Structure 1
C-alpha cells in the first residue's frame, strides 16, 4: 500500500526501447502520441503505460506503418496483425522523387525528418535499403548523381545526430574501423547505433589495412570492426586472432561474423 508507480526518465525509456530521445520528443511534439509527466524542472517522466504504448508504436513501425498514421491506429484499437507488412516507409516515395529531381532542399528535409521520427533500425531496413535498391536500377549517369546526393545528405544528418547523442566532456574510449569504402551508409548507421547506445566511439572510415590495428588501438576499451564485403584471408586471420585473445574486446559486424564462421567451419 502507498507504493508510488514507477516513473522513467527519457534516457531510461531510450535504453529500454532503443528509441532515441530526439525521436521520443518528436512523437510528443508533432504527433501527440505520448504525453509524459513533467517534474518541477520540466524533465519528462514516463509511466509503465507510456512504456507499453511506445512498444506498441514500435510494433507498428516495424510493419512499415508511417508514424503519421500511428495515432489513428492506436485510437481505433486495430489489431496489429491485421495490418499487412510493408517493406518501406511512405517517405521513401517522396525521397526518390526528390532525388530524381536532384532537389537538395527537399531531400535534406525528408532525411532530417525520417532520422528524427524513426528508430535507426527502421531507417535502415525500411528507408535506406529501398532507396538504394531503387537507385541501383537507374542508368549510370542518373544513378551516380542521385546516389551522391543521397549519401551526402544522409551522412550529414547522421553526423548531426551522432554529435547530439555523444556525451559531452568525455573522450572516446572505443574505436570503430570501417573496412569498406569511405562514407558507406551502412557503416555510418552501425556507428550511429553504437553512439545511440551510449558508447563513446571514434570512427576510422575507409581503412584498408588492419595488420597493426589491434596493437596500435590497445588503449581503447573496445574495437568494433565493420565490413559488408568479403575480406582477404590475411585480414580475417588478424581479426580472428584478436577476437580469440583473453581481453575479449573486439566486436565485428554481422558480415564479418559470418565470414569467420565459414572460415572456422572449413578448417574443422
Structure 2
C-alpha cells in the first residue's frame, strides 16, 4: 500500500510551490504564514497542512494578491478564495500550479474546475501539449526527488488518463478513413507508464487510422495473434522504464525473430530507454522518435 508523505522539507516546499526557500522563511517570520516543526538537529519540517496552505498562498500571490493581505485571510477561507480564482482563470502557468494543488489535496473538484476553465479557451490537444506534458515532466522530477509520494502521482495521472480516454471515445465510433497502416499500441512486459501511449492512440484515431490498443505489460508472444489478421501493421510502443538498459537490445533481437515471417514489419518506439538502442544491431524496421510531436508529424 502506498504511504502518503506527511512531512516535507523546506526544499520540498520550494520544489512544489516555486517559491524560493529564502522567501518562505521571510513569510514565516514577517507574517507568521507557516509554523514549521523542528527536528532534534534543528532542521525545519512542514506538515501536509502547511504545504497545502503554501500552495494556496502561492496561487493567490501569483494572481496579484499581496502577501500582506493574504496573511490576513483566515486559514479556513483561503481554499474558497482559491477555488473562485481557479474557476475563472485558465492561464496555463496558473493551471499547472492549480493541478499540483489538486494533487496534494487529493481534490478532484479542483482538477475538474481547472480543466474546464482551460477547455473554455483551448482544445484538448492544446491542453495536453501545453499543460499536461509540462505538468507530467515536473511531477517526474518531484517523484524522483521524493517530494511527492506515489499516491499523489497515481491520483493525478489517473485523472489525466480519464480525460484522454474521454476524448478518445469520441473518435472510436468513427470508421477509419486511412487504410495504408494499422497501428498496434502496446507496452512491453512490466511497463505500466501508459499516458504517452494513450495520447498517441488518440492522435492516431484523430488522423483517421485504425489503432488496436493493447495496453500495458504485454508479453511479446501475444503480438503474434494480431499479425494473423492484418498485413500492414505498425507496432507502436513506449519504453519508459522497461525493457531495462541492459535488456533493450535483446528485446529488439527477440522482436526481430517474432516478425521474421511477417512480410512488412514496422516498429515505432518512444521513451527514454530507446537511448540504449545499438544503432548497429537495430532492425531496419525499427524507428525511434524523440517526442510525441515528432511521431505524430509522421502519421
Quickly name the TM-score band, shorter chain normalised.
Answer: 0.5 to 0.7
1:164 aligns with 2:174: no
- Please list every run of 5 or more consecutive structure 1 residues that lacks an aligned counterpart in the other structure: 1-66, 70-87
Which residue among 254, 257, 275 is the counterpart of 1:238? 254
Shift of 1:122: 3.0
Any residues of structure 2 matched to 1:44-193 within 5 Å, and which? 89-111=93-115, 113=118, 116=124, 118=126, 120-123=128-131, 125-138=133-146, 143-169=149-175, 173-179=182-188, 181-182=191-192, 184-193=194-203
CA deviation map 1:81-128 (0-9, x unaligned): xxxxxxx84311111111111111112333454672616433454232
1:95–1:107 CA contact under 8 A, matched in 2: yes
TM-score normalised over the length of structure 1: 0.53
Query: For the residues of structure 1 that align with 2:152 and 2:203, how far apart are their CA atoms?
Result: 25
Query: For the residues of structure 1 that align with 2:135 and 2:251, how far apart are their CA atoms?
Result: 32
Shift of 1:136: 4.3
Structure 1 pair 243/125, CA: closer, same or farther in 2 (3 Å)? Answer: farther
- Please list every run of 5 or more consecutive structure 2 residues that lacks an aligned counterpart in the other structure: 1-88, 283-299
How big is the alpha-carbon RMSD for the aligned residues of Structure 1 and Structure 2? 3.6
Structure 1 pair 134/195, CA: closer, same or farther in 2 (3 Å)? Answer: farther
1:211–1:238 CA contact under 8 A, matched in 2: no
Shift of 1:227: 1.8
Which residue among 268, 282, 289 is the counterpart of 1:251? 268
CA deviation map 1:225-264 (0-9, x unaligned): 2222342354221334567865143322254654433562
* Number of corresponding residues: 179
Structure 1 pair 94/228, CA: closer, same or farther in 2 (3 Å)? Answer: same
Structure 1 pair 100/161, CA: closer, same or farther in 2 (3 Å)? Answer: same
1:261 aligns with 2:278: yes
TM-score normalised over the length of structure 2: 0.48
1:92–1:130 CA contact under 8 A, matched in 2: no
Structure 1 pair 169/198, CA: closer, same or farther in 2 (3 Å)? Answer: closer
1:202 aligns with 2:206: no
